[in-house]
Amino acid sequence: VTHWEEHKVIITGLDNAGKTTILYQFLMNEVVHTSPTIGSNVEEIIWKNIHFVMWDIGGQESLRASWNTYYTNAQFLILVIDSTDRERLPISKEELHKMLAHEDLRQAAILIFANKQDLKGSMSSAEISQQLNLTSIKGHGWHIQACCALTGEGLYQGLEWIAHQLK
């Protein structure tokens, strides 16, 4: 008897970070089931036994209250960063630390994708790590992975880290 355990993964990040592109890469050639969403900027997708919930952290405040319901039992938080967007990195930082402080995310490990590494002037994962103050994170496993969602480079290393945490 196979036990299909569902894993909940929250994919978040500012608009334009590359979340949709990353999900598309994960889901390529797979049958995708989408569930009704709570708002136009929230996507809910089940792939294999992984339940992905994705939204923009810069989204409407009115939707924010409902996000909490999605936090429950989330095992992973994937934060997607546009590595060329220096200006808005502090917003991602603030949201990241807010999410990690949420009691429903107590168990969640965090994967940060430093996306758009193909673009000139993109910040390195080391620089982003420092700017987001990742070393201050207590009580959560975390990992930062440089990637290029357009080509898929780095995405599987990120998923491998997640798979390793599930063992």
Binding site for ligand GDP (CB under 6 A): 13, 15-21, 115-116, 118-119, 148-150
Tokens linked to 50: 């992984």
> Is the CB of 58 or the CB of 141 nearer to ligand GDP?
58
For residue 118, the minimal CB distance to ligand GDP (Å) is 5
> Is the CB of 17 or the CB of 78 nearer to ligand GDP?
17
> Is the CB of 37 or the CB of 165 nearer to ligand GDP?
37
Terminal C-alpha separation, the chain:
19
Q: Which amino acid is at 139?
A: G
Tokens linked to 19: 């979340």
Q: Please give the Cα distance from 43 to 45 (Å, whole number).
A: 6
60 catalytically annotated: yes
Q: Please give the Cα distance from 94 to 111 (Å, whole number).
A: 16
Q: Please give the Cα distance from 167 to 1 (Å, whole number).
A: 19
Catalytic residue from among 60, 107, 130, 157: 60
For residue 138, the minimal CB distance to ligand GDP (Å) is 28
Catalytic sites, residue numbers = 60
